[in-house]
């Protein structure tokens, strides 16, 4: 095995993320069940009352946004850890992303920022 591979396999940060990913996969499964219940209940309400329930609409939106955040984390498209480690999402994924960025700025205000590597372009 190469030294780089050995170093990667020993990387604590990656193993910790894997543990979080397992946890979020469980949360995702639970959220799917709850969303299915909301969908069925909302359909039944629409049949009997002719309209949808406003509270269920908001719950469905926040659950959908939560599932989006979880999938973003699971697929390595985001490092933001959704609820219960972050705030519960409000609104659409775009609005929740703004909310999570604001939370990240508050949480990381005391951390040193990483310096970007120099670009390969030559200055003229």
Q: Which long-range contacts (CB under 8 A, 24 or more apart) does 102-107 make?
A: 104/80
For the entire predicted model, the pTM comes to 0.74
Distance between CA atoms of residues 76 and 103, nearest Å: 19
* Residue pointed to by tokens 């069925």: 40
What does the pLDDT look like over 73-107, one tens digit per residue? 999 999 999 998 899 998 888 877 776 676 665 55
Question: Total structural domains in the chain?
Answer: 1
Is residue 115 domain-resident? no
- Domain encompassing residue 21: 10-90
E strand or H helix that includes residue 6: helix 3-9
Is residue 30 domain-resident? yes
Is residue 112 domain-resident? no
Is residue 24 domain-resident? yes
What does the pLDDT look like over 10-42, one tens digit per residue? 888 989 999 999 999 999 999 999 999 999 999
Is residue 109 domain-resident? no
Note the helical H segments in 10-110: 12-49, 54-74, 93-107
Is residue 16 domain-resident? yes
Cβ-Cβ contacts under 8 Å for 89 (sequence gap 6 or more):
62, 65, 66, 69, 82, 83, 96, 99, 100
Is residue 119 domain-resident? no
Is residue 82 domain-resident? yes
Of all residues in the chain, what percent carry a pLDDT higher than 90? 57
The sign of the CA dihedral 7, 108, 22, 71 is: negative
């Amino acid at each position: 095995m190469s030294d780089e591979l050995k170093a990667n396999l020993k990387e604590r940060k990656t193993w910790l993320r894997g543990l979080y990913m397992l946890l979020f996969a469980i949360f995702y499964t639970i959220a799917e069940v709850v969303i299915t219940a909301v969908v069925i209940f909302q359909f039944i309400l629409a049949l009997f009352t002719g309209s949808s329930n406003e509270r269920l609409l908001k719950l469905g939106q926040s659950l959908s946004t939560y599932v989006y955040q979880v999938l973003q984390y699971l697929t390595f498209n985001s490092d933001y850890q959704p609820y219960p480690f972050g705030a519960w999402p409000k609104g659409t994924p775009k609005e929740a992303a703004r909310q999570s960025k604001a939370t990240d700025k508050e949480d990381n205000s005391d951390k040193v920022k990483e310096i970007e590597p120099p670009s390969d372009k030559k200055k003229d």
